[in-house]
Amino acid sequence: MIDPFEVASIPKVFFGAGIRSNLDTIIPSFGNKILFVIGQSSLKNSGVWDEIRKKMDELNVNYFQISVAGEPSPSLIDSYATKYREQSLDIIISIGGGSVIDAGKAISAMIPHEDSITNYLEGVGSKKPDGKKIPFIALPTTSGTGSEATKNAVISQVGENGFKKSLRHDNYIPNIAIVDPELAISCPPSITAACGMDAFTQLYESYVSTKANPMMDALSYSGIDHMKDKIIPACTNAQEDIEVRAGLAYGSLMSGITLANAGLGVVHGFASSIGGLYEIPHGVVCGTLLAEAVKMNIKKLNSMGKEGVMSLRKHAKLGALLSDSDDNAEKDISYYLELLIYTLENWTNKLKLERLSTYGINEGDVNMIVEKTGLKNNPVSLTPEDMKEILKNRL
């Protein structure tokens, strides 16, 4: 029997190299008053922003543009929502990484409201979002968060009482997602690595989640299959290879769909708590902790006996998928479990993923981080000592 499950809505998706040109025909169907939310510099430096501006002038639309650097804070969202509330915008379009998309998503949601976004954040405010928004289109320029397919916007406030929380409602899913792998070609190797490992972590955690279902398993597995041979080349000798970029973009898109339906695990639990305490990129947290978290999950599942077998089999299936071996001989499950850990550790080294200490995190901070970290839908329960071990091994 297949257990009952639900599937959240996804946006209308346009995927493919050069597909950003579809904006030309999509925009007039919404109106002619637009707010573009873009990154600080990469889109401008790539020449794509000039290309889009030229097309907007040809379409004779009235557009505004703001730039977002880093993860959006409550004050940033509040200020832009206030500034553009009286402009009667027809549509908001985000072109950038996950933070840029989240910023546009949050601004579109907060323009119809007069108060602060803080009041609507999960675990922070007391109000429930009502789903009202300005129509929103997402064009990712990195392959990482999958935010172009999710119903939440992650908002961060860094500091002693900091947080990393979501504004969430089914209606906040972008109306349209335009996933053009060409937009990621100019993405630097360090950002490509962090974003790629974020997406891969989301696919892994969705696949082994306690809320996993057959449909999301298929999408997670497909995303991993397309990413597995692309992450290292995209950061080394094939940065401008559109086939490589397309594989990462597809994996990222699948990760957004699966995380929204199957949930995530301890790595993203850490990313939430650490992200609220320290100035550290989300993808770096995920990438640097993934191999250690997988190793710990497998160790704990092995200790459970028969109760852990089903999840171990799923882990082993991923190990077999990541294998570059042409040996088709049947192997013991432990072989593929070890292969999964080995591959992820190898990626961590090859991608030169920074340790947590690079961002000022030390052993004295570990207890505080663990206290603030939830296990979410991790495939196995971990003790505080287990979680501390994961962190200490990447200091």
pLDDT of residue 325: 61
How do residues 341-363 score in pLDDT, each as one tens digit?
999 999 999 999 999 999 999 99
111 domain residue, yes or no = yes
Distance CA 251, CA 249 (A): 5
Residue 328: pLDDT band (50, 70, 90) is low
Asked if residue 255 and residue 372 are part of one domain, the reply reads: yes
Mean pLDDT of 13-32: 95
- Rounded Cα distance between 215 and 5, Å, is 9
Residues 97 and 168 in one domain: yes
pLDDT at 177 (0 to 100): 98
Out of 134, 151, 184, a domain closes at: 184
Residue 368: count of CB within 10 angstroms of its CB: 12
Q: Does some domain include residue 7?
A: no
d(CA 82, CA 113) in angstroms, rounded, equals: 9
Q: Are 258 and 362 found together in one domain?
A: yes
Q: Model confidence over 118-149: pLDDT tens digits?
A: 999 999 999 999 999 999 999 999 999 999 99
Three-state secondary structure string covering 230-299: CHHHHHCCCCCCHHHHHHHHHHHHHHHHHHHHHCCCHHHHHHHHHHHHCCCCHHHHHHHHHHHHHHHHHH
Give me the CATH number covering residue 94: 3.40.50.1970
pLDDT value at position 43?
86
* Confidence band for 46, pLDDT divided at 50, 70 and 90: confident
The separation between the first and the last C-alpha atoms of the chain, rounded to the nearest angstrom, is: 44
- Based on the number of CB atoms within 10 Å of its own CB, is 108 exposed (0-12), middle (13-18) or buried (19 or more)? buried
Residue that finishes a domain, picked among 139, 167, 184: 184
Q: Which residue has the tokens 């007039």?
A: 28
* Cα dihedral 143, 220, 257, 294 sign: negative
Q: Report the CATH number at residue 212.
A: 1.20.1090.10
Q: Looking at the structure, do residues 350 and 205 belong to the same domain, yes or no?
A: yes
Name the DSSP class of 119.
G
Q: What is the pTM assigned to this prediction?
A: 0.95
- CA-closest candidate to residue 196, choices 281, 276, 135: 281
Q: What is the structure's pLDDT at 327?
A: 58
Integer Cα distance of 108 and 98 in angstroms: 15
Mean pLDDT, range 50-57, rounded to an integer: 93
Return the pLDDT at 326.
58
Taking only the tens place, the pLDDT of each residue in 92-111 is: 999 999 999 999 999 999 99
Residues 65 and 175 in one domain: yes
In order of 196, 283, 323, the CA distances from 192 in angstroms are: 6, 9, 22
Pairing of strands 33-39, 62-68: parallel
pLDDT, tens digit, 9 for 90 and up, residues 226-281: 999 999 999 999 999 999 999 999 999 999 999 999 999 999 999 999 999 999 99
Confidence of residue 55 (pLDDT cuts 50, 70, 90): very high
> Residue 58: which pLDDT band, with cuts at 50, 70 and 90?
very high
Average pLDDT, the chain: 95
* Cβ-based burial of 67 (10 A; exposed 0-12, middle 13-18, buried ≥19): middle
Say how far apart CA 52 and CA 212 lie, in whole Å.
40
| Residue 180, domain extent | 12-184
